[in-house]
Structure 1
């Protein structure tokens, strides 16, 4: 009796399956992991532009740009770092999004090609781990934004002493804000990813108004960009400091670039994502960081101190004007814009992608929605406010995440674009048996493991030293500070070299496009699955696909 009840309970806990589904939930498949069918491809050009407004115009972008000033760079040098990092981010987003744009699959499934069916659990778990920290950081900022709104409504709430000890690095007001932010976040996860465009538009408008308001307040009062645009460089080594700045920018969006396929797979047509990745991504990241630098510089002349966080700045503005009713109203709506930005950025860069990663670990019982809720619980438990205690620690952690993400990105780009020429045997990505061409040896691909170790181990000593003492300066730390670019290059080069010496079995099998009429049969194995040598009225399709790849 007990065994029967447990089986019934387990059956009820399984992920939902579409009524007309041609797939079944198993160890490798569920609704969120299969190639996105045409009726769920709802993203157009404007959708991806909004995506990059949410991703590029957020508190982390604002704070990262202005935090670079703490390393002795001038405002002009800090902005140069942002521009270079933003352009590289856009280029990486284009090439990393090819699997989603061509085959409508996400990173979780794509990693099975280069790592093996079982080996893919490692990059998925690694990205999940980094996303937990990012989610925690973004949710903490969201809680601060909510607390800002509470303080604008009631100055007595804002000014009462914290009931938490100083060693906790968080006040009871901010913790209350985090709880309220979570309450607002939970319903947003219920919206399917293909229906999130309208909430993102509202969020973008709210935070955009906040940035414009800060500019309109600060720049006219000081008649320009403020004193930081007139200071001399105080960095002991300008090239080294600028490389650190570029790396921190890339580290901030590293997981976003490697996971581009998670969102690009919802695109209605080819090239829709590429236009936003090439232009909207660098533009939005640069504009938001520029606003951060300008406002931080100009406000320092008004308030007498440098405040890198827009939330901290808004709180200081309320104090500066003695909580007048007009200022409190302005701070409240600005706090609302920051709250919306943090809700959207966590859904965009963390919840959906990490939810799908968790679904890949246990597809029968986890989907994007359930994974997002699990991520939220873990993100709160990681105490993110501890790593945000100083600008140095903040940049060290952000850059440190790139130590592991960078070689993974290089391996993925080499495998999918260079070696396989964008050819994928879709049905074998959902076949967890030795008959799959992505099974390799016991489900693991040794070439990817070797390339990853070669691309990440040189930076680990510097990462650990920096976390222990952010002021440490030696050869290991300097190497760590350029980890993202170098790690990506090492992962890409080593993996390509190994595969040229020891070619991947069946690396040219598959199609370089997704046949929408038969993708379900490819996934479930029903019928005769197409291979790389098969022509299903595909001469024209394949010629067009090859032309696109050559052009890119």
Structure 2
């Protein structure tokens, strides 16, 4: 049965969109965007999109733990001279702290069903939120490119397993670029293989991580079994006896620096979680799945990387902290059918795992960010595709050229992310006592409680600057500038220092200059129940941007429109 307002077939709509420039422009405009503050993916998620269960979050964080970065972080500690015991302890406790911060930062999103770009408006201001959104989007682009490069490495290894002459293809790329023709081809294939997954909305992507949570540990275990079998054991003493003895002070600061490196690797996850937690099926679905799986999974993955690296170093005389370098070396030593089959399975698993990591930690956050920046034209799916195009255009292989450079990059950028998370946690949990006004999050009116000073919460920006100021000289020194030992030690504290300073400074500033509104005077999260009722009945908001009332339709109408657009 057809109706008069039924939408024309997709092919007909596509043909009409390319009939003229004005028709193309109209096709790009999202009907759900009624102001510069809202569209279908910025508004609170309707109940039909509350699809992430406890298992979804557990599978996601367990699968996320199994990635190239985690494997490489543990193994790169060994390459830089750390002991196996110290490396594993650092990874475990850093990820335990990360899990705690992630759970706290996802709490608001799980209760009000809004993502990071909208939640950040409550702490940084309606207009000030754009700054932290852009700050995170930069990280999404860089990491998106890095993960795409990792994926391309593994695809290149897979192609080498299939084609015996793969390594004999002439390399016309200069050595100074840190990439070969083979890897560049793999990088291009990684780009193509990623495209289909980016057409899946965040509320439906969780099944990808369930598959990854099973495949990737098996691949990692396979590499460990092979390495220890070939070596005749773990050979843990190879690393611990190879380094020179150091003083207690040097060792302590080295461990602290390693801790900061792990926090740096997780810094993207700490700010990303609201974009996933907003789809939580229940208020606490994100709690146990994240708190348990992240520290255990990442420690296990890092230990696999350490065990395999130590065994291979004893076997080949070199520590391969990147798994794709290790897999290539295995093929160099033996190109038998057995070796090729095993390496192909491991490489394909790592490529798939890297794809999942990149989607969750880079493409989804970037898409949420640009949805906030251009709500009239970009939703989650369009934003994911845009991120892929930009990530393809950068040169991420230079970031991971050496172990030192990789750790410097991870630790460095995190000092700007620490204060952001700090401000958001103090603002929501302590100062506002878990109370948010949904309508005020979507208005440009100067009467709104999140408008602050012309749309900017100056308190939050002062705390942000104070947060990263102390480790900043050390960050500059990591690129070759000379500084004193005190600045070096402060930089070794990295994310932890910037986070603690951000927490303390924002709390003190807000004691001196009170936040507007009465959120902090109400009982803890007393507004959650009324917000849930608003979302169920259909979210409506008044805006100032177009001088008229704007609204998001009821849950049933909105969901039908989204389904039609995705059809």
TM value normalised by structure 2: 0.87
Please show how residues 275-354 of structure 1 align to structure 2 within 5 Å.
Answer: 275-321=288-334, 323-354=335-366
Give the C-alpha shift of residue 368 in structure 1.
1.4
Secondary structure class of the residue paired with 1:505: coil
> Which deviations, in whole Å up to 9, do the C-alpha atoms of 1:105-152 show, x marking residues without a partner?
111101100111111000000001112111111110000011010111
CA gap of 1:9–1:435, structure 2 versus 1, over 3 A, is farther
1:452 corresponds to 2:460:
no
1:365 corresponds to 2:381:
no
CA gap of 1:449–1:230, structure 2 versus 1, over 3 A, is closer
> Which deviations, in whole Å up to 9, do the C-alpha atoms of 1:169-189 show, x marking residues without a partner?
110111110100010001100
Give the C-alpha shift of residue 244 in structure 1.
0.8
1:116 corresponds to 2:153:
no
Contact 1:254 1:405 in 2 (8 A): yes
Q: Which sits farther off after the overlay, 125-134 or 374-383?
A: 374-383
Please show how residues 11-90 of structure 1 align to structure 2 within 5 Å.
Answer: 11-15=26-30, 17=32, 24-90=33-99
Secondary structure class of the residue paired with 2:233: coil
Match of 2:221 in 1: 212
Contact 2:236 2:307 in 1 (8 A): no
Contact 1:456 1:487 in 2 (8 A): yes
CA separation in 1, counterparts of 2:187 and 2:31? 31
Contact 1:455 1:490 in 2 (8 A): yes
CA separation in 1, counterparts of 2:261 and 2:432? 31
> Which deviations, in whole Å up to 9, do the C-alpha atoms of 1:396-441 show, x marking residues without a partner?
0000111100010110001011100110000110112212111111
CA gap of 1:7–1:468, structure 2 versus 1, over 3 A, is farther
Give the C-alpha shift of residue 159 in structure 1.
3.9
CA separation in 1, counterparts of 2:478 and 2:221? 36
Match of 1:496 among 486, 507, 513: 507
Give the C-alpha shift of residue 513 in structure 1.
4.0
Secondary structure class of the residue paired with 2:173: coil
Match of 1:417 among 429, 437, 440: 429
Match of 1:479 among 487, 490, 494: 490
Q: What runs of 5+ residues in structure 1 fail to find an aligned partner?
A: 18-23, 527-552
CA separation in 1, counterparts of 2:253 and 2:417? 22
Q: What is the Cα-based RMSD across aligned positions, in Å?
A: 2.0
Secondary structure class of the residue paired with 1:388: coil
Match of 1:397 in 2: 409
Please show how residues 186-201 of structure 1 align to structure 2 within 5 Å.
Answer: 186-201=195-210
Q: Which sits farther off after the overlay, 6-15 or 79-88?
A: 6-15
CA separation in 2, counterparts of 1:458 and 1:363? 36
Give the C-alpha shift of residue 442 in structure 1.
0.8
Secondary structure class of the residue paired with 2:382: helix
Contact 1:355 1:368 in 2 (8 A): yes
Contact 1:41 1:266 in 2 (8 A): yes
> Which deviations, in whole Å up to 9, do the C-alpha atoms of 1:498-531 show, x marking residues without a partner?
10111101051781345333236554249xxxxx
Secondary structure class of the residue paired with 2:375: coil
> Which deviations, in whole Å up to 9, do the C-alpha atoms of 1:72-107 show, x marking residues without a partner?
211111111101111111111111111111111111
Match of 1:441 in 2: 453
Give the C-alpha shift of residue 229 in structure 1.
6.2
Q: Across the two proteins, how many residue pairs are aligned to each other? A: 515
Q: Which sits farther off after the overlay, 475-484 or 6-15?
A: 6-15
Contact 2:84 2:236 in 1 (8 A): no
Contact 2:436 2:527 in 1 (8 A): yes
TM value normalised by structure 1: 0.89
1:263 corresponds to 2:279:
no
Secondary structure class of the residue paired with 2:435: coil
Give the C-alpha shift of residue 369 in structure 1.
1.5
Contact 1:150 1:158 in 2 (8 A): no
Match of 1:168 in 2: 177
CA separation in 2, counterparts of 1:402 and 1:523? 37
Secondary structure class of the residue paired with 1:524: strand
CA separation in 1, counterparts of 2:97 and 2:127? 31
Contact 1:419 1:507 in 2 (8 A): no
CA separation in 1, counterparts of 2:215 and 2:78? 27
Secondary structure class of the residue paired with 2:478: helix
CA separation in 2, counterparts of 1:424 and 1:229? 55
Contact 2:112 2:532 in 1 (8 A): no
Secondary structure class of the residue paired with 1:444: coil
Q: What runs of 5+ residues in structure 2 fail to find an aligned partner?
A: 1-18, 544-567
CA gap of 1:412–1:472, structure 2 versus 1, over 3 A, is same
Contact 2:137 2:366 in 1 (8 A): yes
Match of 1:515 in 2: 531
